[in-house]
Structure 1
Amino acid sequence: MKRSPLNVLFYSLMAVLGVLFIAGVFASRKMIPLLLSLLAVAFLTDLRLGMTREKRIAWLALAIGFGWKTAMAMTASSVQIFQAFVPLRRVSWLFLTFIVYGFGLRIYALIFERKSMKVRDENHSWSAPFIEFFGNWGIELLLLAITALSLRMLVPSGYYWDDALNSTQYLFERQDGIPLIQNLLSFMGKYLALGRINVLSAYYYFLFYIPSVAAYKALIIALVLACQLVVRVVLTYMTGSLSLGQFTMLLIPLLIQLRAYQDPVSGFYGLMQVLLITILLMAYFFTRYLRGGQKRNLIFSLAAYMVGCMIYEVVFPFGLLIPLLCWAEGISLKQTIKAILPFLLICLVLLGVVLILRLNLPTAEVYEGVRFKWKLSAILRTYGIQLLAALPLSYYTFTDQLTAMEQITLADGFFRQSSDEILRGNDTADYLLVWLLVFSAVLIFQRWYTESGNGNGNRALRPALALGLCLFLLPAVTIALSTRYQGQLVPGLGYLPVYISLFGVAIVLALLVSRLLRRRNAFLQGFLLALIAVVFLVTTQHNRLVTHWMDRVFYYPRQTGEQALESGLFDFLPDNATVISMNPGWYMWEASWGPPRRLYGEFNTIHSGRDFVSGELQAGGRDDLAASLNDQPDRPLYLFSYQGSETGGVAVLGKVTATADETNLITEEVIYFLHGEGFKDQPVIYITDEGEPGIVDARTAYPIRVSENGTLYQLNPQEAIRFDSFGMVDFALLRSTSAELILNGDR
């Protein structure tokens, strides 16, 4: 390509713009005139050298993107007209896509000198050696690696929601001395008592025998990858198109949105992943049966359907997939009815068992999740919200707040919404993954063109469409009927089966893209690549933020409590003591969902090594405080509390004095535990029973035991303090009362 001084100038300007953009200097409105001037010079350079079609499209995309950026920067002004744009900041990612597309298209035109951007034959394409190198499974392996790395923030995270309490209960049962088969039967019996036949979900009981949370999270990620592989195999068999399955795989990391809610990827024992695999296998073997007529494939399909129904109720509606697959394969009505009957029989038998349980067991309607509410407006609203949650960036766009265990954070200000924040909020690994994702997409597009040119890949798209629509639409049916989720779900939130729906969205989008790419429009292909890159960056950043927030609520406090007990905080308790947990929040791993199922004793037993379940030691929560006060002095009463953050944590144990009551909790013989770099040198603060502030710093602290987890300290055993005043200057455990008194007082 001939390089004139104007070409060199354009290269330099593009480089400067790229550096300024990534550095985030666009956050300043003072930069806008300079940036627009640089763009104007570059635009005039193109006009002088001659405008081609791709140059015009590139500049149009840049004009749209930077026009939006200018409007967003002006929202900080007092001009009223610009304030109307403030609520639209959440769609800034779309205009960032235009900027990326414009830059990419313009640089591409500079590197490859040609008047048009027609797609070349694969045999003469630069990507041909790479396609040959990767071979049959290279792209799939690359996509699996991208997905796994995009979810890497989950591996060092903690247990959330049901996982938090299950990890306490089932880990305790591992050492309770009761035979495994008896515990398993008890587990299944609890489902049956609720009028549910989910007995095959017992598989997840064993997952909480895994002592490592990281191994547990890695297993869930592995199941996500297994779902990607299975959906690729099923789609390729159904349609004959390898690219359709590969592109569906590519879309999965763009669609997985972690939520501050009961989420199917950050936890829940791989339940939705196992269900999706059973549904895909049901569709796969049934399609093989329709095409080959072998009875064993029908049996495999029936078995997959029955297993899925006995794991979770959401699979029941997937009986509708069977007639749709018959239609897609062009099966006659008579043969369709014949094929449907065994599935219908299984469905009716299992529903009959559910009905018998609910009519005869008094506890069958206790759980709101399986209690139906037949109000049409509520059903339609919940159904729409559940479907919306499967669409890309839905949680990022529509949620107003993050809520868990009494902790609330507003979404505005938490999620990064401007294009500058989005770019600065990702690390080097994210950008590497973006390039690998775009590279994979280019390879898939090249293969798609080849399949289309050879007449391959079009054998049967209708089965894939039927599968995609069913995966998208059917999981929301049971959720929409549930009393619980009719009251819980708001736009952006979706319950567990949203995971199945997002695979349906991926299939439908892949089919749509396959139709669009038939025109071999390079400009459309470029825009799709830019869109993929930006959505991936936003989603990955969003997932990292949500995971960190959930760890602040679930993981860091629990880690502090566990390490305090493992360091021997309870070693000093008398054998007949009662310990009341007075934690600043509702900790699910010990409080469960509330009475009557609480796990204070199990949690204390697992981590302290002392028996709070079958021995004389007793444990309870705040609602047990009044009764425990009445048991004194026959049974010594101790209060226990802990809290943690990413930099460390603090736990405290104190013996309640005889003069204490519910409104004046005075404790003595106080022992406390500190761990983490952010806490080891911080002073602890408190208020004495006489109302005097107290402080103990690193020089005056009295350590009684040091371990790899942290350090146990003791206050003067004769000094009585208000238990709820104990805390730290930068990290008040329960209330900030003591900090205010000390910082504003004489000491």
Structure 2
Amino acid sequence: MNRNALLLILAGFTYVAICLLPILKSGLYSDDLPNFQLKTIRADHNENAIELALPGIEEWKAKGRYTPISFILMEFAFKYFHSVFAYKTYIYLLNLLAVAVFLVYLSAIKFNVNKGIWLVCFGSVMQFRVEYHDAYTTFNGMYQMLFIFVFGSLIFYSYYLANRKHFFLGVSAIFFIISILISEVGLLTILLFPGSGLLLKIPYRKYLLSFIPYFFISLIYLSYVVWLKSHVLDQNVYTGLKTNIDLLAMTELLFKQLYATIPLTNLQNTSAIPIKIFHQITDLKNLLSIIFIFFIGYLIFQRSKADQENRLKNFELNYVLLAVALMILPAFFILPSSKYQLEIGWGRGYLPVYIQNFGTATLLAYFFEYSFRNQRIANARYAISFFIFILVSTAITFLFNNALINSRSYRISFPADVLYKEVQNGILQNCREGSTIVLGNDFYWKSPDTYQALFKKITRKNFKVYDIGTNILFTDSSECYLLECKPGKMVIVSLFKMDCSQNEIKILIKQKETPCDIDVIKEDGI
């Protein structure tokens, strides 16, 4: 690698690192919120991550799913990262590591696209979707680790094809096993193996035999999962595994996932976009970040003119096919799911879009490089206009990611944290064992049972916990309380004595106000 190519990669990494900065200020939401608050309260600090993961593994086996390493990764994250900032820093670094692994993969398969240009294109597709399930900021880095092991397996497989050293094949197989035990999407690895052979120009007969171990590993895993699911009652099967083989619904879901990889599509169904973006750019930190994004992007563009090592001489269909495969194949694992066929809307991609984005960035970078290296002036002008569009898209995406995180933190993350701390500070200490606690605000996606477990861990008391508005099993012998947490510029946590039989609030017992300094505007939906 020459000096100029190395400088391009370093500049590109700085570019991506800036684009990912909003992760560091993102709060807890989605599954992370209850998991973090529950699991950072440890009854036995001597248990390791594997021991802590066993109950979750068994619980999900009873629902027809076997992804044990995902639970180990979750327990590891919450065992060792006790502050939200430390946890988010961990996820931030995993995102950067995933990008680094992909660049190594591109080099391993001799995909000679300009890495600096690729990193700039990748910045435009890193769109957060924190209103649903977002792989960039949540899920304890599970998708980053999945990605690292999938493409780590492909890297070592490519090394094996190039060098015929069985050590590389063994490491690749181990990484493959780990990936499928993180998520079923790990099976993506075997679908991408042919791409390595094609791009390395290895005759298919030479790598066909090396593919056999992966085939049998996949067969064993899938057979076990099918057996597991066959021994689970239909009502107990995880909803995401319930299938609906409807070609129309599956095709629509595929296009929704593909649409979510296109730059700026997370603006879908959003109002007052110019106001939100302008409000974010008035923040000095955001303004400086945008200046650096444009400055580094310009430097990469200028340096790319002198980059001889990664120039594309001719149009290579295999490169395009690999990029398209990366865009499409990860989505296949959720297409039969009736849950996601119903839940996913336009502009709202589900977790596999994290991997699909790497394919989109690869396709964008390839076509830019091919157009820019073409001698015809019209194509070069098109490439320059395209690059400007990518930079502007990245800037808008960065600002909108900040707006989404601020809005989510204002409405969910911060008030949920305030409520959590007030319970730790003893707001429920005078409530008797067996009392009924009615939740005025349930930040756990309507999961009062999880709050019941949290309250028990903190107070050492068993409460009956319900969401407000639900049917309450009330007995004359039990006391009843309403625990309320109102989001706002001043988060107000209140505990009321309540007459559950009449659904009436009788008296205020405790109240605590906590200022919230998260910068939001009414156009954010506040």
TM-score bracket for the superposition, by shorter chain length:
0.7 to 0.9
1:479 alignment partner AA: I
- Residue 136 of structure 1 deviates from its aligned partner by 6.0
- Listed as ranges, the matches of 1:653-692 within 5 Å are 653-656=495-498, 660-668=499-507, 670-676=509-515
Deviation at 1:347, TM superposition (A): 1.0
Q: How does 1:537-552 map to 2 (within 5 A)?
A: 537-552=395-410
Contact preservation (8 Å) 2:24, 2:89? yes
Contact 1:655-1:668 within 8 A present in 2 as well: yes
Task: Quote how far apart the aligned CAs of 1:445 are.
Answer: 4.0
- Cα deviation 1:637-687 (Å, max 9, x = unaligned): 322211222x2211221223xxx4544414236221122279xxxxxxxxx
Could you say which residue in structure 2 is the equivalent of 1:252? 122
- Aligned CA distance change for structure 1 residues 443 and 650 (closer, same or farther; 3 Å): closer
User: Which segments of 5 or more consecutive residues in structure 1 lack a partner in the other structure?
Assistant: 1-130, 401-410, 679-747
Residue number in structure 1 paired with 2:473 = 627
State which of 336, 342, 361 in structure 2 corresponds to 1:481.
Answer: 336
Q: Paired residue for 2:480?
A: 637
Q: Which amino acid letter does the alignment assign opposite residue 174 of structure 2?
A: A
Q: Does 1:323 align with 2:166?
A: no
Given that 1:238 and 1:463 are in contact with CA atoms closer than 8 Å, whether structure 2 keeps it comes out as no
Residues 424 and 358 (structure 1), Cα distance of their counterparts in 2 relative to 1, 3 Å cut: closer
SS at match of 1:211: coil
Encode CA deviations 1:414-469: one digit per residue, 9 max, x unaligned.
Answer: x337xxx74564244444444433444444445544444x7866699666545423
Deviations 1:67-121 (A, max 9, x none): xxxxxxxxxxxxxxxxxxxxxxxxxxxxxxxxxxxxxxxxxxxxxxxxxxxxxxx
Once the two structures are superposed, the pairs formed by residues 350-429 of structure 1 within 5 Å of their partners are 350-362=221-233, 366-396=237-267, 399-400=268-269, 411-413=270-272, 415-416=273-274, 422=277, 425-427=280-282, 428-429=284-285
> What corresponds to 2:524 in structure 1?
none
How far 1:354 sits from its partner (Å)? 0.7
Partner of 1:175: 43
| Contact in 1 for aligned 2:4/2:303 (Cα 8 Å) | no
- In the alignment, structure 2 segments of 5+ residues that lack a partner are 518-526
8 A contact 1:383–1:476 mirrored in 2 = yes
Work out whether 1:612 is the aligned partner of 2:486: no
Distance 1:563 1:601 in 2: 15
Q: Paired residue for 1:198, among 59, 67, 78? A: 67
Q: Deviations over 1:201-237 (max 9, x none)?
A: 1211121232211111121111111112122222233
SS in 1 for 2:350: coil
Matched, 1:602 2:474: no
What displacement does 1:179 show? 4.8
Alignment check: 8 A CA contact 1:371 1:482 kept: yes
Distance 2:397 2:332 in 1: 26
Cα deviation digits, residues 585-610 of structure 1 (max 9, x gap): 43207x43x6xxx122333345xx42
Structural mapping, 1:203-282, within 5 Å: 203-209=73-79, 210-239=81-110, 241=112, 244-259=114-129, 260-282=131-153
Confirm whether residue 576 of structure 1 aligns to residue 433 of structure 2: yes
Q: Secondary structure of 2:281's match?
A: coil
- Once the two structures are superposed, residues 114-173 of structure 1 have per-residue CA deviations (whole angstroms, 9 ceiling, x without a partner) of xxxxxxxxxxxxxxxxx99x866444333333333333333233211111121233234x
Q: Bigger radius of gyration, 1 or 2?
A: 1
Tell whether the 8 Å contact from 2:73 to 2:140 is kept in structure 1 after alignment.
no
Give the superposition deviation at 1:545: 1.5
Report what 1:140 is aligned to. Answer: 9
**Partners of 1:677 and 1:199 in 2: CA distance:** 38
SS of the residue 1:650 aligns to: strand
Write the letter of the residue equivalent to 1:668.
Answer: I
Residue identity matched to 1:226: L
Aligned residues: 509
Cα distance, 1:378–1:493 mapped onto 2, change above 3 Å: same
Secondary structure at 1:651 match in 2:
strand
> Is the alpha carbon distance of 1:455 and 1:199 closer, same or farther for their aligned partners in structure 2, counting shifts above 3 Å?
closer
TM-score when scaled to structure 2?
0.87
Q: Is residue 491 of structure 2 the alignment partner of residue 649 of structure 1? A: yes
> Secondary structure of the equivalent of 2:40?
helix
Q: Give percent identity, aligned residues only.
A: 23
* CA distance in 2: counterparts of 1:437 and 1:621, whole angstroms: 45
Q: 1:364 to 1:463 in 2, by over 3 A?
A: farther
Distance change in 2, residues 1:141/1:667 (3 Å): farther
- Cα drift, residue 256 of structure 1: 0.9
Cα deviation 1:701-729 (Å, max 9, x = unaligned): xxxxxxxxxxxxxxxxxxxxxxxxxxxxx
Per-residue CA deviations over 1:440-499 (Å, capped at 9, x if unaligned) read: 4444445544444x7866699666545423321111001111111011111111101100
Contact residue 559 and residue 644 of structure 1 kept, 8 A:
no
User: 1:437 aligned to 281, 293, 303, which one?
Assistant: 293
Indicate conservation of the 8 Å contact 1:195/1:364, yes or no. Answer: no
* 1:732 paired residue number: none
Contact 1:160–1:554, Cα closer than 8 Å, also in 2 = yes
**Comparing 498-507 with 308-317, which one deviates more in the overlay?**
308-317
**C-alpha deviation, 1:357, in angstroms:** 0.8
Aligned pairs for 1:503-514 within 5 A: 503-514=358-369
Q: Deviations over 1:305-336 (max 9, x none)?
A: 22111110112243121123223333334224
Structure 2 letter corresponding to 1:672 = Q
* 2:197 partner letter: C
Match of 2:419 in 1: 561
Distance 1:179 1:536, change over 3 A: closer
Cα distance in structure 1, aligned partners of 2:194 and 2:321: 10
- Counterpart amino acid of 1:601? Q
Deviation at 1:501, TM superposition (A): 0.3
Change in Cα spacing, 1:182 to 1:329, as seen in structure 2 (3 Å) is closer
**Do the aligned partners of 1:257 and 1:393 also contact (CA within 8 Å) in 2?**
yes
Measured in 1, the distance between the counterparts of 2:287 and 2:485 equals 39
Aligned to 2:22: 153
Q: Is the 8 A contact 2:154 2:189 kept in 1?
A: no
Q: Distance in 2 between matches of 1:661 and 1:601?
A: 18
Distance 1:179 1:237, change over 3 A: closer
Cα distance, 1:228–1:182 mapped onto 2, change above 3 Å: closer
Partner SS for 2:65: coil
Closer/same/farther in 2, CA of residues 461 and 434 from structure 1, 3 Å limit: farther
